[in-house]
Structure formats: C-alpha cells, structure tokens
C-alpha cells in the first residue's frame, strides 16, 4: 500500500483518477478515518492550501502522523503543479516527521504543457509570471523562477545530468514525458517524492501496467458549480447557461447575509433544477466591484449549494475549483469518498453515497460531454 497527502481536493482527486487508470483500489479521505483493508492507495486531502500557514501545518501534521501509522511503502506529497500554497513549509514538515533529509519535487506536468526549463516554470512555453496565474487572488505568480516561488535558500533546481544531493529540496527540470520517466527512475526511497500528477503517474509506471478507463456520461439532474475566477468570461458552461436561462448567480449582498434571507434565491434555483434538469451556480463577478474575502465567498456558496441539494438532491454535482469543492463537501458533512471514474485528466467523479460529486481544477479543460450537455 502507498499513500498520498494532497493540499487540496482536486489534487487528491487527480491522483485518485490516475490510480484508477492503473487498476488500483483507492480510499480517499479528508482526515483520519476507517480504511478499507483492500485499498492499494490511501489519499488524504488536507485543504491546507486555502488555510493560513499555522493551520495548514497543524492539519498536515495530523494527517501525516495518521498515514505513517498505516505503514505505507512511501507517502507521496501531492503539490499544486504551479507551486501555489505552502509547498516548502509542508515539505519541510514531512521531512522532519519522516526522518528523511531530502525531497525530490517534480511539480511540472509536461502532458499539460507545464514544464520547468533551467529553473524557469513555463506554461505552454510562456513564463509563469506572464500568464493569467499572475492574477491569482490568493497565490499570484510573481516569479517564474521555481526557487524564488518557494522562497527557500534550501531548494535547488537541478537537471537530469546533475548529481542528486542527499539533503534538501531538489526541483527537477523537466520538459517532456520521457524526461519525467527518467526522474521517476532516479527516485529512491530515502527521498520524499513530491510534485504533480505526471510525476506520480511516472512512479506508478515502475509498479503497475496501465489499464483502460470507461468513458463517463453525465447524470441528471446536474448542478454545475463554478467556484474559481479563471476563464470566467469565456467559460462555455457559464456562457451557455446565461443564454438559456439556467444560471443562478451569487451577489455581494448574498455573501453578507444569512441563509434565511436567501431562501427565495434557493427556491428559484430548486425550481429551475427540477424543470430544466440542470443548473449553473456561480458568482456575479461583475457585481463584485471590490475584492471580497475568498474564504467567505466559498463558505456562503457551500451553504447555498447544500441548501439546494437538501431540497432537491441532484444525481450529480460538478464542482470547478478545489477549495470550493472541499467547502461544499464539508457543508454536506462528507468526510470520505470513493473515486469511481475519470472524465478527463484531473476531472474525477466521486461517490458520496448521497450523489456523485465531480471535482475539477479551475485551470484544467472541461470534458466535452459536460459542455455539450449545457449547450
């Protein structure tokens, strides 16, 4: 058995999807809990990325100690592929708790056009700091230099031709899938393996042979929740639902008020879901003229989505944005899920026993079948 600790729900789900494609049995959790004895892979999503550093480290330590008690072969640290969050601090904590002095961090995903060349992070060939990720409201990309992003003198950028130091955080330069496989071959169990989905997949290549995954189809009624601000203007589901009248937008005044005052909005959303069998829920970004507290926005969205689901449970809730997905599952009191299918890379369907919940990172492409459903 192996284990993964991820700092957000979509990252955990991405790893689960990769594991499913390798024929592994997956158990996914948001904290310590009961584990199936048949599980090949245990995943914990800490949601640490969206929390202050002190809280993030406390939650990460609790999860790591629990995973260590299960005696996995190794614990993979799933980081954001763009190094958002408290990556350096959480890795340092894992090194301390594990007694290991080194970590091999490969965050890039060449399969998605995300590479690290000579220590510079590129997205489809464009330096990270020159992409829309520079405008991320919580973790803006102010630099493309991976060591500067980590803000650590103890982290170094190395290439495949370089020696692999025993101590410290090593960030591997990688420009292709073949180079990723080479990095996986260089990893040894005296180093913490850390990084993105491509690196985890490359590690699994050394253990298992990939199997095919069946194509998923959308279940109705379906709620699409967009909790991220990336690509809002050109978002195909948002555009389609704004045109066909199946969109419900959350305004600033709704964020500052309790559920009781928003009951008419919830009832209208429920009526629309029952009539049209689909519903889009997002923020009215044009109305938010001033920056709002992202934590408060996520929390209120979770309350409203849960209220809709309580009144009319959909067959599927499709959530874009990891922190939003975690907030909604917390509001629904869902503590563990069973990954059951893969739409596309990183877009994973989870069985919560109440309904299917699909989670998708904000920057990953949408499955064509979901776009067609709302078109």
Condensed to tens digits (0 to 9), the pLDDT of residues 131-150 reads: 999 988 788 999 999 999 99
What average pLDDT does the structure give for the chain? Answer: 90
pLDDT-derived band at 365 (thresholds 50, 70, 90) equals: confident
CA–CA distance, 8 with 71 (Å, rounded to integer): 23
Pairing of strands 336-344, 347-351: antiparallel
Residue 212 clears pLDDT 80, i.e. is over it:
no
Q: Above 60 in pLDDT, residue 210?
A: no
The CATH architecture of the domain made up of 222-374 is 3-Layer(aba) Sandwich (3.40)
For the chain, give every residue range classified as CATH 3.40.50.10840: 2-205
- Most distant CA atoms of the chain, gap in Å: 63
- Sequence-distant (6+) residues with CB within 8 A of 25 are 36, 38, 39, 40, 41
**Residue ranges of the chain assigned to CATH 3.40.980.20:** 222-374
Q: Is the pLDDT of residue 94 over 70?
A: yes
Query: The domain 2-205: what is its CATH number?
Result: 3.40.50.10840
300-347 pLDDT, tens digit per residue, is 999 999 999 999 999 999 999 888 999 999 999 988 888 888 898 889
Token pair in block for residue 264: 């008419």
Q: Give residue 229's pLDDT.
A: 59
Reference 168, options 105, 101, 106, 107; nearest CA is 101
The rounded distance, in Å, linking the Cα atoms of 194 and 235 is 31
pTM: 0.81
């Amino acid at each position: 058995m192996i284990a993964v600790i991820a700092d957000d729900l979509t990252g955990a789900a991405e790893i689960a999807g990769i594991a499913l494609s390798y024929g592994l049995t997956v158990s996914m959790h948001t904290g310590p809990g009961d584990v199936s004895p048949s599980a090949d892979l245990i995943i914990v999503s800490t949601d640490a990325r969206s929390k202050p550093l002190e809280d993030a480290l406390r939650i990460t330590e609790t999860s790591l100690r629990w995973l260590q008690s299960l005696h996995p072969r190794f614990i993979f640290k799933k980081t954001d592929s763009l190094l958002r969050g408290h990556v350096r601090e959480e890795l340092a904590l894992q090194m301390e708790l594990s007694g290991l002095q080194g970590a091999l961090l490969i965050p890039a995903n060449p399969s998605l056009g995300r590479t690290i060349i000579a220590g510079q992070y590129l997205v489809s060939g464009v330096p990270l700091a020159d992409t829309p990720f520079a405008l991320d409201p919580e973790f803006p990309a102010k630099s493309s230099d991976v060591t500067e992003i980590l803000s650590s003198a103890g982290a170094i950028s190395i290439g495949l031709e370089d020696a692999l130091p025993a101590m410290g955080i090593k960030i591997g330069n990688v420009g292709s899938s073949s180079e990723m496989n080479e990095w996986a071959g260089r990893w040894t169990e005296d180093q913490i393996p850390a990084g993105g989905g491509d690196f985890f997949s490359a590690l699994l290549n050394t253990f298992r042979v990939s199997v095919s995954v069946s194509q998923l189809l959308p279940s109705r009624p379906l709620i699409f929740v967009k909790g991220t601000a990336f690509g809002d203007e050109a978002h195909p589901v948002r555009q389609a639902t704004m045109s066909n009248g199946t969109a419900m937008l959350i305004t600033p005044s709704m964020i500052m008020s309790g559920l009781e005052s928003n009951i008419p909005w919830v009832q209208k959303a429920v009526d629309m879901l029952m009539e049209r069998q689909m519903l889009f829920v997002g923020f009215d970004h044009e109305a938010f003229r001033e920056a709002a507290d992202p934590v408060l926005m996520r929390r209120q969205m979770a309350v409203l989505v849960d209220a809709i689901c309580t009144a009319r449970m959909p067959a599927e809730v499709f959530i874009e944005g990891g922190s939003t997905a975690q907030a909604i599952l917390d509001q629904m009191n869902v503590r563990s899920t069973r990954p059951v299918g893969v739409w596309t890379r990183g877009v994973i369907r989870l069985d919560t026993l109440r309904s299917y919940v699909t989670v998708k990172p904000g920057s990953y492409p949408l499955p064509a079948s979901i776009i067609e459903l709302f078109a």
